[in-house]
Chains A and B, each alone.
Chain A
C-alpha cells in the first residue's frame, strides 16, 4: 500500500539527527515534527524569524505576535531565539540549516524542483521556497509519486516553472525513497507492500534499481 501523509512524515523523521537545525515547509513537512524521536534534541526554524518553534499554543497561550511561516499561532520552546527576516534568510542562504523538508509538484532526474507556480492557476508566490532550495545543505522533498491518473511527478525534465535547479538529492514519496545523482533517480526503499514494478511504472525519469530494494521500516 502507498504511504499515508503521516507515514511519509514518519519516514522523513528518520532523516533528522540529534543536534540538527531543521526547517519544515507547509503540508506534509509540518507533520514531520510529530515524529521526531523524543531522545534527540532538534531546533525547528521558522523562516519568519524563529529558531526553536514549539507546538501549537493552548487556548490560554495564544499570542498574535508569535506565528509560524504558515501564519499559524505557535509557541517558542525554552532556548528559542527571534530575529529579522534578513537574519533568517542569512541562516538559510548561508547553509546553516542542517535539513530542509519541503513539498513539490514535480522533481526531475537532474535534481530540479517545481513547487510554486502552475501557469493558468492562481499565482500565490514562492515565499521562501527558492531561498530554501538554493541554500540548504540537505533537502528532503515530501511528495506524491504520481497524480490520480498515475502520471508521474518524478520526471526526466520538470514541465512547470522551476523553484531551483540541481538542488534536490533525496525524495520521499508515498511509494518510495529515492536519491538523485548522476542524472538519474536511484531507488533506495519501497513502501511496505509496494513492488519495484509498481514504482517503475509510475516513475517517468531515468530510474536505477539495485538488485535488492528493502521495504521502509517504521
Chain B
C-alpha cells in the first residue's frame, strides 16, 4: 500500500488517465510558476482537443505556446494572451476558441470550483462585453453579474516544496494561480523542486494542505524569464 504517499517517479505516471478532449487547469502567471515537465510531456504525447484554463497562454516556443504550436488546444480560458503571437492567428482563423476572463474573476471562478460554490456575483465586467448574456442582480444599489465556477479533469500545478503527503509550499510570485487550481480538479498533479519527508515542512506555513493533491513529481525547471529588467548596482 502506498497510504498517503503521493510521490510518483515518472511524468507518465503523473499523467496516468490523461486523454484527449479533457479540461485541464495549468498553474502559472506568464512563465512564472508553471509545471514545465508536465507541459512538455503533454506536448510530446500530442493530446489534443484540450480545454485549457490558465491565466496566460505561454510564449511562442515555451510553456503553453508548445501546445498551441501542435494545435492541441481547442478552447483557451485566460485573462491575458498578449505574449503569444500564434494565439492571435489561431483565434482569428477559428482554430482556437478564446474565452477571455478578467483575472480576478478567473481566480475566483477556480477558487469557487474547488470550494463547492457553483457561482457568485461580482461587479467586475458589468456593463462590458464580459457581462453580456449574464444574469444581473442589484445589491445595495450596485449591479453585479453572475459568474459560474470552473472545475477540470486535471490540474497541473507547480510548487516549491512538497512533503510526500502533498502538503505544499510555493515560493514568491510563483504561487499565483497554483493554490486555487490545486483544489478544483478531479486529479491534481503537482511538479515540485524538492520533496521532503512528512514533518519537515512547518505545519504553520503550509499553503496547500495535502488533501487537495493526488500526485507529486520532482521536476527540473528552466525557469525562463519573460522580461529581464535590472537596475545598476547600488553605490
Contact = CB atoms under 8 A, between A and B. Distances in A.
Given A67-B173, A85-B176, 7 more contacts: A55-B231, A62-B225, A64-B32, A86-B110, A126-B103, A127-B79, A129-B102
Given A128-B103, A128-B104, A135-B123, A72 B229 contact: yes
Contact of B124 (A67, A82, A130): A130
A127 B80 contact: yes
B97 interface: no
Interface residues on A, range: 35 or more
A79 to B, nearest CB: 15
Interface residues of B, number: 59
Contact of B177 (A71, A84, A129): A84
Interface string B114-150: 0000000011111111100000000000000000000
Interface of A: 46-50, 55-60, 62-74, 76, 82-86, 88-89, 92-93, 112, 117, 122-131, 134-135, 161-166
B30 A125 contact: no
B33 A65 contact: yes
Interface string B192-235: 00000000000000010000000000000001111111111110
Q: Looking at chain B's contact residues, is the secondary structure mostly helix, strand, loop, or mixed?
A: loop
B175 interface: yes
Interface of B: 29-33, 55, 78-83, 88, 91, 98, 100, 102-108, 110-111, 122-130, 160, 170-180, 207, 223-234
A56 B233 CA distance: 11
A73 B107 contact: no
